[in-house]
Amino acid sequence: MKKLTIALDAMGGDHAPHEICKGAVLACKEFSDLEMILTGDEEKIKPCIHGAPSEVLNRLTVVHAAEVITMYEQPATAIRKKRDSSMRVAMEMVRAGEAQGCLSAGNTGAIVAGGVLVVGRLPTIDRPALGVPLPTINRWTFLLDVGASVRSRPVNLYQYAQMGNVYSKKILGVAEPEVALLSNGTEEIKGDDLVVEAREMLCKSTLNFKGYVEGDDIPWGRADVVVCDGFMGNVILKFGEGLMQGARSIIDEEMGHRFMPKVGLLFMIPMVKALWARFNYEKYGGTPLLGVQGTVVKAHGRSKAPAILGALSAARNFIVKDGVEQIREELE
């Protein structure tokens, strides 16, 4: 069996290193072809994997890295200066070919900067994009860019659309992805200069391009790939997360001082479980950085072990399906 190696930044994320390492162990149990390199403070990592079965431990290598890039550092400076940081060391592994991909739940900006500076852009891509698969009412919609850049030019949106198309097809398994541009209305007369120009470019492409979608078309699942600039994508993603968490917190609060709804909830347990299975965003927990010369996946900063497993599974899938090469070919 062909082996496959992923370098994992064990020190990145709110629950590092414990939950990150636990996720690595889960992934090794699930995928017997997977080998992993855990980068970071050896003294801290070793106790986290101590209890794993020996057939897993055999596939886990710890590579010591003395520094950590925190969430509050200026990304490009941090990745440049902290050469011995767990994140940079993981990325160097990809550049050197010692790992086919890397994963980090750390500083998003630094992951993007490292993707460009360490792993390297694909020559045909002006700017890489971070994409995220979102569970919608009837499908998984791949939204990009969710924050690799701030603002974009039309050519960037055009390239995001192409990369999103590849990801949707090859990784999420959609036969002929419907690709759309996020705008302030579906009619042709809508849009700002940016999306108007990107639309013209996309209409001439070979993509299955649907034109504009509006904000509500995302939750209603009216496209497989939705393209926007990183400022918009970032705000949308966080707004959606906040809305769902806020709604949950309010229901918990209202439930807290009442007895009857708690009884009612008991009748709903199977339904709540079914809903969670259907909309478990951790299933595709990884946010790939597309447009770089290797597999680079970001996991949410709040990730615990199951989300790390989901992200590692996405990274593995991207490697197995030769995602980088597919994007390179699509853009040529």
Interface contacts to a copy of itself, rule CB under 8 A: 72, 74, 136-137, 147, 150-151, 182-185, 187, 189, 191-193, 214-220, 228, 230-232, 234-247, 249-251, 254-255, 258, 260-261, 263-268, 270-271, 274-275, 278-279
The token pair that represents 290 in the structure block? 């597309």
Peptide bond into 145 cis (omega under 30): yes
Strands 179-182 and 129-135: unpaired
Closer to a copy of itself by CB, 97 or 270: give it: 270
Closer to a copy of itself by CB, 203 or 250: give it: 250
Shortest Cβ 244–a copy of itself spacing (Å)? 7
Closer to a copy of itself by CB, 155 or 251: give it: 251
Shortest Cβ 5–a copy of itself spacing (Å)? 33
| Collapsed DSSP state (helix, strand, coil) of residue 226 | strand
DSSP string, 70-125: -TTS-HHHHHHH-TTBHHHHHHHHHHTTS-SEEEE-S-HHHHHHHIIIII-B-TT-
Closer to a copy of itself by CB, 203 or 243: give it: 243
Closer to a copy of itself by CB, 43 or 253: give it: 253
Closer to a copy of itself by CB, 41 or 73: give it: 73
Shortest Cβ 144–a copy of itself spacing (Å)? 15
Shortest Cβ 53–a copy of itself spacing (Å)? 38
What residue spans of 208-304 are helical by DSSP H?
Answer: 230-256, 260-279
Closer to a copy of itself by CB, 100 or 149: give it: 149
Shortest Cβ 168–a copy of itself spacing (Å)? 20
Shortest Cβ 202–a copy of itself spacing (Å)? 18
Shortest Cβ 225–a copy of itself spacing (Å)? 16
Q: Is there a contact between 148 and 129 (Cβ–Cβ < 8 Å)? A: yes
Peptide bond into 17 cis (omega under 30): yes
List CB contacts of 218: < 8 A, sequence separation 6 or more: 134, 136, 141, 143, 182, 226, 236
Strand order across the 34-40 sheet: 60-64, 34-40, 4-9, 101-104, 295-298, 287-290, 129-135, 140-144, 225-227, 179-182, 209-213
Q: Is there a contact between 105 and 40 (Cβ–Cβ < 8 Å)? A: no
Shortest Cβ 266–a copy of itself spacing (Å)? 7
The token pair that represents 276 in the structure block? 């969670």
Q: Is there a contact between 7 and 93 (Cβ–Cβ < 8 Å)? A: yes
Closer to a copy of itself by CB, 240 or 306: give it: 240
